[in-house]
Structure 1
Amino acid sequence: MSNTSLNETHFDDDHFRDECGVFGVLDHPEAANLTYLGLYALQHRGQESTGIISTDGTNFNNHRGMGLVSDVYQKEDIVKLEGRIAIGHVRYSTAGDLGLRNCQPFMYQYAHGGIAMCHNGNIVNAEALRKGLEKDGSIFQSTSDTEVIIHLLAKSSGNSTRERLTDAVKQLEGGFSVLLMTETRLFGARDPNGIRPLVLGKLDGSWVMASETCAFDLVGADFVRDVEAGELVVVDPDGTLRSYFPFEKPAIKFCVFEYVYFARPDSTLEGVNVYQARHNIGVELAKESYVDADMVIPVPDSGVPPAMGFALEAGIPFQMGLIRNHYVGRTFIEPKQSIRNFGVKLKLNPNRDMIAGKRVILVDDSIVRGTTSRKIVEMVRAAGATEIHMRISSPPTKHSCFYGINTPTSEELMANQMNLDEMCKAIGADSLAFVSNEGLFKAVGKPRELHCDACFSGDYPVPVNEKRSPQLSLLRYYDKRPS
């Protein structure tokens, strides 16, 4: 391969990917700018594309693009997003995705006026809903679940936007948080199990909504509360917030992996501080799988809090033995000759002088396919470590997620195909241990019954066909339709 060719790679493709983050604000003179800043804070939830739509009460204005928030928006773009209401979105694309046409929010004019919508999550019955809508004459311009929701809303016979949105979300199965705006109102809805997060805040008397509280911290908003499982909130032009519960039996099943990996550590979700939960997981991990060593080293960044907790409980020094390059982009010039573990080395580098001759405990958040773990162990071994003990701050990931996380099939998950000893041998570690389910929920401080842990247990709160990914199924259905 030529050393001048540009090649795009995913060094982190051995981690789960949360596909979206959302932010919205009503009745603020800097609505678009606040949304831009909110998306900046939520960038970790999606780095493929981003969009903002605003309204001045009559016209909708939008700016969307592929890439990071810092790259897509310039000052002149934000200035053009006039109005006191705005919603925004960041996302990861799924396999087979067609880029900009799936970039949210989406904006439509229909019989009752203008609407804009974005959402975080995945609708497991999207393919069936889409087939029915197309059979009735609906035309789609994307492969996104969001557009399915919009068509359901447009077809509703409800007398108000709230009634039409209620009709739409009641037909959905899966995990989702939805933001919708009209020329005058802002709406937020959460699935009846509350799998995906959505929080409410206030800034200068204006209501704001976001996927995580860290977005409120950046813009200076005060956190008010989480949107409840199965709740639909409506913010009127005068700032009145109305709450509805359209689902018959809402029951919280919040995604526990938000605490392990997805959410930023400075966020608080469902009353739990993410950093503290991760630190506590490390404490429980040390209690369950102590091993004598010279240092505890995190795999940055999500491994840092649990590694600190592990080190504290075990009485072993915490060291930043792996240094992360924070300036790695998605495109690079590949070397002409092969460099072993090139993709991982581009992001992480072991501190040889610190590691050489030492017994090391490596703490990471998860093992998915196992490829990255193996490469990291090889790097640390090559740096001179005499022993490498891998500790994982989540239980073994044996099952795919179908509620908004872009994951491999179960057959690709190492823990689904191997036992603990086989996994340890495959990644080349001297020992391997995962935190137990009991330890995980003790660390979180809330019972398992209030969470979705299907990726560990296979206990799906919303029935799914695990033999196929609903994301890929919908994409393949779309691409195979006759022209």
Structure 2
Amino acid sequence: MKTCLQYDQYQETGVREECGVFGIYDFDGNDVASSVYYGLCSLQHRGQESCGIVVSDTKGDRGNIAYHKDLGLVSEVFKPDTLSSLHGNLGIGHVRYSTTGGSTRENAQPLVLNYIKGTLALAHNGNLVNAASLKEELVYGGAIFHTTTDSEMIAYYIARERVHTRNVEEAVLHTARRIRGGYALVVMSPRKLIAVRDPFGLKPLCIGKRNNAYIVASESCALASVGAEFIRDIEPGEMVAITEKGITSNKELQQKERAHCIFEYIYFARLDSEMDGIKIYDARIRSGRALAKAWPVDADLVTGVPESGLTAAKGYAMEAGLPFEIAFYKNSYIGRTFIKPTQKERESSVKLKLNVLESVVKDKRIVLVDDSIVRGTTMANLIQMLKKAGAKEVHVRISAPPFLYPCYYGTDVPSNEQLIAADHTTEEIREIIGADSLGYMKIEDLQTMVGDLGICKACFDNHYPVPAESEKKGFTNEEN
């Protein structure tokens, strides 16, 4: 039996992205599969394990839904002939990264459900903290599960509620009252597109418009990729329904308290996105400036770990009055290091992926900025590479506080025993990674990134906005 704290795959992985969702309803009747494809490509950074697209022709026969999904990147799963076979003016898509749900074709999303009222498709980013009790209720009610994700539980609850409600919107709303945790949901029936965001705003979700089509997506960059205008963020606790009659909003689930995931601003979100009124690029510049104020050092230049550390490094350089330089060449054709299944393979792929520009670092005192240290092995390798290339000193600055606690809401922060900061002091970590000095973002400085936006920083301070339920009869908490 496993609890929320016991994640098998954390033995070999680090902090990863979340999932990405996308949906579009074109009232002019144009096919949307290609738009979903481009939207998912722009969200690829949020998940690279599997992806899928579901479409419906709202002007055709009821229940005429077509879909395709598989393991792999968007460009690998969808070829021109596959896309051309998906006809419909309503569609949703998903890119997936899993933690406990497992990387299998069965777990690829969107999930498609055939039930007594027709067909339902669902794409989900997030993690439910009450998944165990929900699954227990469904299993003892006779439900048979085909995946190991909590997303399937959500789909089942919507289908069950739909039998007793006037429409699918009410069924989704009733289900949202039951689920707890972080979630951004995009639900599609043959003629309706529904988007729901959790009451704390832990997961991002926004809405845009292109001509006579409405679009919902995890990030605003996905709207730009299909030529859509960003309208606004879907508010925490809001449900938006897009039907042939237009667009409606229900804010019944709203509450005063907000807890937007701070790691969206530190790392997850794409640099050109905007979330809840905050431009991601500006937030990361501010994080670098805060680091420079908190941890100044005599140095010759500032650099960042590509790609996630570069913007904060620029902010550090601006505040410190030091040159900002690119010290690493990144091989974009090598997969992300966390995908490698063993520690030895991860270390090898770091060297394949990044190469030091010796002429930049030789005989220099360097400030090296990155977004996080999980186990420390990657950072230790980078420092070793810099010093081998002739760097005199390497001073590490991290734009996040030390990870001390797991995340229950869909961010892959390992359990405590896998976190180097959980049982080592900053000085001990400095020695382990071989840095000349080490400074982390101070927790109190996180707010400078996002102004007065309410944030969740539980993986740093152990203050969870939605407490996780205790283990129930062996049912596991699943994530997608």
> By the TM > 0.5 criterion, same fold?
yes
Look up the match of 1:244.
250
Q: Distance in 2 between matches of 1:83 and 1:371?
A: 47
Q: How far does residue 439 in structure 1 lie from its aligned partner after superposition? A: 2.1
Distance 1:330 1:288, change over 3 A: closer
CA RMSD of superposed structures (Å): 2.4
Distance 1:339 1:35, change over 3 A: closer
Q: Note if 1:348 corresponds to 2:354.
A: yes
Q: How far does residue 128 in structure 1 lie from its aligned partner after superposition? A: 1.5
Q: Note if 1:186 corresponds to 2:193.
A: yes
- Note if contact 2:301-2:367 (Cα within 8 Å) is conserved in structure 1: yes
Q: What SS does structure 2 have at the residue aligned with 1:234?
A: strand
**Deviations 1:35-90, CA, capped at 9 Å, x for gaps:** 00000000000000000000013310001011000111011111111111000000
Q: Note if 1:63 corresponds to 2:68.
A: yes
Q: How far does residue 384 in structure 1 lie from its aligned partner after superposition? A: 1.4
Within a 5 Å distance, the mapping from 1:361-400 to structure 2 comes to 361-400=367-406
Q: Note if 1:23 corresponds to 2:26.
A: no
Q: What SS does structure 2 have at the residue aligned with 1:162?
A: helix
Match of residue 203, structure 2, among 178, 196, 200: 196
Look up the match of 1:42.
43
Within a 5 Å distance, the mapping from 1:76-95 to structure 2 comes to 76-95=81-100
Match of residue 473, structure 1, among 448, 473, 476: 476
**Deviations 1:425-466, CA, capped at 9 Å, x for gaps:** 11110100012122221132234xx11111111110000269
Q: Distance in 2 between matches of 1:133 and 1:267?
A: 38
Match of residue 178, structure 2, among 148, 155, 171: 171
Look up the match of 1:263.
269
Q: Distance in 1 between matches of 2:450 and 2:18?
A: 23
- Note if contact 1:356-1:384 (Cα within 8 Å) is conserved in structure 2: yes
Letter paired with 1:36:
Y
Q: How far does residue 95 in structure 1 lie from its aligned partner after superposition? A: 4.6
Q: Note if 1:106 corresponds to 2:111.
A: yes
Q: Distance in 2 between matches of 1:110 and 1:305?
A: 48
Look up the match of 2:154.
149
Look up the match of 1:116.
121
> Does 271-280 or 152-161 show the bigger shift?
152-161
Q: Which runs of 5+ in 2 are unaligned?
A: 1-8
Match of residue 225, structure 1, among 232, 256, 259: 232
- Note if contact 1:95-1:472 (Cα within 8 Å) is conserved in structure 2: no
Distance 1:107 1:22, change over 3 A: same
Letter paired with 2:311:
P
Q: Distance in 2 between matches of 1:199 and 1:340?
A: 35
Letter paired with 2:327:
G
- Note if contact 1:230-1:250 (Cα within 8 Å) is conserved in structure 2: no
Letter paired with 1:324:
K
Look up the match of 2:307.
301
Look up the match of 1:424.
430
**Deviations 1:211-266, CA, capped at 9 Å, x for gaps:** 0000011111000111111111111113x211112326353211011000000010
Letter paired with 2:178:
Q
Look up the match of 2:6.
none
Distance 1:365 1:415, change over 3 A: same
Q: Distance in 2 between matches of 1:149 and 1:250?
A: 25
Q: Distance in 1 between matches of 2:256 and 2:134?
A: 22
Letter paired with 2:32:
A
Distance 1:314 1:472, change over 3 A: farther
Look up the match of 1:315.
321
- Note if contact 1:180-1:188 (Cα within 8 Å) is conserved in structure 2: yes
Q: What SS does structure 2 have at the residue aligned with 1:224?
A: strand
- Note if contact 1:392-1:435 (Cα within 8 Å) is conserved in structure 2: yes
Distance 1:330 1:399, change over 3 A: closer
Letter paired with 1:21:
G
Q: What SS does structure 1 have at the residue aligned with 2:446?
A: helix
Q: What SS does structure 1 have at the residue aligned with 2:113?
A: strand
Q: Distance in 1 between matches of 2:469 and 2:243?
A: 39
Q: Distance in 1 between matches of 2:287 and 2:43?
A: 23
Q: How far does residue 475 in structure 1 lie from its aligned partner after superposition? A: 6.0
Q: Note if 1:139 corresponds to 2:138.
A: no
Which of the pair has the greater relative contact order for Cα pairs under 8 Å at 6+ separation? 2
Q: How far does residue 14 in structure 1 lie from its aligned partner after superposition? A: 5.9
- Note if contact 1:14-1:368 (Cα within 8 Å) is conserved in structure 2: no
Look up the match of 1:459.
463
Look up the match of 2:3.
none
Q: Distance in 1 between matches of 2:382 and 2:308?
A: 15
- Note if contact 1:390-1:432 (Cα within 8 Å) is conserved in structure 2: yes
- Note if contact 1:391-1:432 (Cα within 8 Å) is conserved in structure 2: yes
Look up the match of 2:289.
283
- Note if contact 2:21-2:218 (Cα within 8 Å) is conserved in structure 1: yes
Q: Distance in 1 between matches of 2:255 and 2:223?
A: 30
Q: What SS does structure 1 have at the residue aligned with 2:476?
A: helix
Q: What SS does structure 1 have at the residue aligned with 2:249?
A: strand
Distance 1:96 1:231, change over 3 A: closer
Look up the match of 1:481.
none
